[in-house]
């Protein structure tokens, strides 16, 4: 097996090193390509381009494999907890009982946010999309924790910055919802676990006790595990490239939230429900929408279907689909759009267009159906994705800093005008 590739260009032969990862993935290292051959590469959307080496998450898109630090998503979703998986992706190993207890305790004692955050929150109209609100509020944390601005501080101080964002995002997310509903804010309760605390801040009222249904908090915990990280996806790459300029963790996470918002990425979970609702309102004829999805002249896409890496089933979608049946059954919820989703999936998976392109349901196809059953409003679905993905973003940012990756600054191929003289305005 050769550890280099050869490029034959204009009669010259260039040898480019090939590196191999721990799962046998191979990549041509082109870091010296321009200095030796004068060539750069171009790969719109980075479909064939690796941006870094990483030890956090491994995906095999052809086999539908997803592992975090070597542990399969199936095992983690079945046997672990969100906080434990957050610890795993951020620090690299499953915590001991002592380490997990300390981690949970630190998070519990940082869930409160500065009272002045309320003034920023109240500046948002009730119609403000919660993703825009939390992206702004996360960025505002740099004002309340100015030491977080410097990512080169001691590892203890950087870890304190990490703990604060893991602890405070649920509070900021729940308060964004309360602001949307123009309801009074509910403060964190340190006697509750991560998910129960969030649900109480979302649906509780300051004037009364709120009982968190264990079925709901357990389902939410599993959903957050399933979203925790996904290697160099659009938002993780955004967090990395912002962090590569030595911008703060909070600024990098705020940018990651903005990237996740798009309907082609995390915003798809909201778009899926809106699509299923539209199909239901239009009489439930799924084949009409399959035809639309295949029609190149029609901008309609089957939201929640397709993936840049998975050309087989997204393993998370398989777990969420089963969880949807379990949770709706346990809550006694009968949601007709779950039936429409299953019918849509069934028709698409037999259709040559989808088969030829390896288009399967992705993580966003069924997740919204569970969020709905949990009482979470549609425009909060992507906020839930952000809550789950936060430990992954933190882990990617931390790894990028620890690896000492250089500032991200891609090249380009210029296609504009060649050199030309300035023309005075009266001669144009």
* Contact in structure between 315 and 74 (CB atoms under 8 Å): yes
C-beta of 266 vs 391, nearer to ligand SDX: 266
Among 304, 315, 368, 388, binds ligand SDX (CB under 6 A): 304
Query: Which strands form 12-20's sheet, in the order they lie side by side?
Result: 4-9, 12-20, 26-28
Contacts of residue 269, Cβ cutoff 8 Å, sequence gap at least 6:
304, 363, 364, 367, 368, 371, 381, 382, 384, 385
DSSP state of 284: -
Q: Which two tokens stand for residue 14?
A: 């260039």
Q: Should residue 212 be labelled a site residue for ligand SDX when binding is judged by CB under 6 A?
A: no
| Closest residue by Cα to residue 67 from 77, 57, 75, 76 | 57
User: Residue from 265, 321, 372, 401 that binds ligand SDX (CB under 6 A)?
Assistant: 265
**Least distance (Å) between residue 210 CB and ligand SDX:** 31
Q: Which residue has the tokens 């721990």?
A: 22
Q: Which of 227, 230, 307, 379 is catalytic?
A: 307
Position 66 contacts ligand SDX (CB under 6 A): no
Q: Which of 129, 307, 321, 372 forms a contact with ligand SDX (CB under 6 A)?
A: 307
User: What angle, 0 to 180 degrees and rounded to 10, lies between the N-to-C axes of helices 268-281 and 381-403?
Assistant: 160
Taking the complex as a whole, how short is the minimal distance between the CB of residue 348 and ligand SDX, in angstroms? Answer: 9
Site string for ligand SDX, 131-170 (x = CB under 6 A): ----------------------------------------
Q: 8-11 — which CB contacts under 8 Å span 24+ positions?
A: 9/37, 9/39
* Closest CB to ligand SDX among residues 201, 226: 226
Nearer to ligand SDX, 29 or 298 (CB): 298
**Stretch of residues binding ligand SDX (CB under 6 A), selected from 243-251, 295-303, 337-345, 412-420:** 295-303
Which residue among 364, 405, 417, 419 is the active-site one? 364
Q: Which is nearer to ligand SDX, 29 or 277 (CB)?
A: 277
Residue 366 Cβ vs ligand SDX, minimum distance, rounded to whole Å: 12
Our CB check for ligand SDX shows the closer of 171 and 252 to be 252
Would you call 325 a catalytic residue per the annotation? Answer: no
CB burial of residue 176 (10 Å; 0-12, 13-18, 19+): buried
**Is the Cβ–Cβ distance between 85 and 77 less than 8 Å?**
no
Residue 305 beta carbon to ligand SDX: minimum distance, rounded to whole angstroms? 4
Q: How far is the CB of 72 from ligand SDX (least distance, A)?
A: 16
Question: Using CA atoms, how far apart are residues 366 and 219, in angstroms rounded to an integer?
Answer: 13
Is there binding between residue 230 and ligand SDX (CB under 6 A)?
Answer: yes
By CB under 6 A, which span of 27-35, 65-73, 121-129, 296-304 interacts with ligand SDX? 296-304
Binding mask 275-294 for ligand SDX (x = CB under 6 A): ------------------x-
Of 203, 240, 249, 117, whose CA–CA distance to 380 is shortest?
A: 203
Under 8 Å CB-to-CB from 1, ≥6 apart: which residues?
Answer: none
Which of the stretches 143-151, 188-196, 260-268, 393-401 binds ligand SDX when contact is defined by CB under 6 A?
260-268
Neighbours of 65 (CB within 10 A): 16
In the bound state with ligand SDX, the residue whose beta carbon lies nearer, of 84 and 364, is 364
Residue among 306, 315, 368, 388 that touches ligand SDX (CB under 6 A): 306
Output the smallest distance, CB 425 to ligand SDX, in A: 43
Q: How many residues bind ligand SDX (CB under 6 A)?
A: 22
> 403-407 long-range contacts, Cβ below 8 Å, gap at least 24?
403/52, 403/53, 405/52, 405/240, 405/244, 406/244, 407/244, 407/245, 407/246
Residue with the two structure tokens 């941006």: 51
- Burial of residue 301 (CB within 10 Å: 0-12, 13-18, 19+) is middle
CB of 224 to ligand SDX, least distance (A): 13
Q: CA-to-CA distance for 333 and 354, rounded, in angstroms? A: 31
Whether residue 282 lies in the annotated active site:
no
Tokens standing for 353?
């267009």
Decide whether 47 or 211 has the Cβ nearer to ligand SDX. 47
- Cα–Cα distance measured from residue 316 to residue 320, given in angstroms and rounded to the nearest whole number: 6
String of contacts with ligand SDX for each residue 353-392, x by CB under 6 A: ----x-x--xxx----------------------------
The residue among 45 and 332 lying less far from ligand SDX, judged by its C-beta, is 45
- What is the rounded distance in angstroms from the CA atom of residue 306 to the CA atom of residue 360? 5
Interface positions with ligand SDX (CB under 6 A) = 45, 230, 233, 264-266, 268, 293, 301-309, 357, 359, 362-364
Residues that are catalytic: 307, 364
């Amino acid at each position: 097996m050769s550890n280099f590739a050869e490029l034959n260009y204009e009669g010259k032969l260039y040898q480019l090193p090939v590196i191999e990862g721990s799962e046998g993935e191979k990549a041509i290292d082109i870091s010296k390509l321009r200095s030796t051959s004068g060539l750069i590469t171009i790969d719109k959307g980075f479909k064939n381009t690796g941006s870094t080496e990483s030890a956090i998450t491994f995906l095999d898109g052809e086999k539908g494999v997803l592992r975090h630090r070597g542990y399969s998503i199936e095992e983690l979703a079945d046997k672990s907890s969100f906080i434990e998986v957050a610890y795993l992706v951020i620090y690299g190993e499953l915590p001991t009982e002592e380490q997990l207890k300390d981690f949970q305790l630190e998070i519990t004692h940082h869930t409160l946010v500065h009272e002045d955050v309320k003034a920023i929150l109240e500046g948002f109209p009730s119609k403000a999309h919660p993703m825009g609100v939390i992206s702004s509020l996360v960025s505002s944390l740099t004002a309340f924790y100015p030491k977080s601005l410097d990512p080169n501080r001691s590892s203890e101080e950087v870890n304190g910055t990490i703990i604060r964002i893991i602890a405070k995002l649920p509070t900021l997310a729940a308060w964004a919802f309360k602001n949307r509903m123009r309801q009074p804010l509910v403060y964190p309760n340190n006697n509750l676990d991560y998910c129960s605390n969030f649900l109480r801040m979302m649906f509780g009222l300051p004037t009364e006790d709120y009982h968190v249904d264990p079925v709901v908090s357990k389902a939410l915990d599993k959903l957050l595990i399933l979203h925790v990280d996904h290697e160099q996806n659009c938002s993780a790459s955004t967090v990395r490239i912002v962090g590569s300029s030595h911008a703060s963790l909070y600024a990098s996470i705020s940018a990651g939230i903005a990237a996740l918002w798009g309907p082609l990425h995390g915003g798809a979970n909201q778009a899926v429900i809106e699509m299923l609702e539209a199909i239901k309102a239009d009489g439930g004829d799924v084949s009409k929408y399959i035809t639309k999805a295949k029609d190149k002249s029609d901008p309609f896409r089957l939201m929640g279907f397709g993936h840049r890496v998975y050309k087989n089933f997204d393993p998370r979608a398989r777990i969420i689909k089963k969880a949807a049946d379990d949770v709706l059954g346990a809550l006694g919820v009968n949601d007709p759009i779950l039936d429409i989703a299953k019918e849509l999936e069934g028709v698409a998976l037999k259709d040559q267009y989808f088969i030829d392109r390896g288009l399967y349901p992705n993580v966003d196809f069924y997740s919204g159906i569970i969020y709905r059953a949990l009482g979470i409003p549609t425009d909060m679905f992507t906020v839930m994705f952000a809550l789950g993905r936060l430990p992954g973003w933190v882990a990617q940012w931390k790894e990028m800093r620890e690896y000492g990756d250089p500032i991200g600054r891609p090249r380009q191929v210029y296609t504009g005008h060649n050199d030309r003289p300035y023309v005075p305005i009266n001669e144009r």
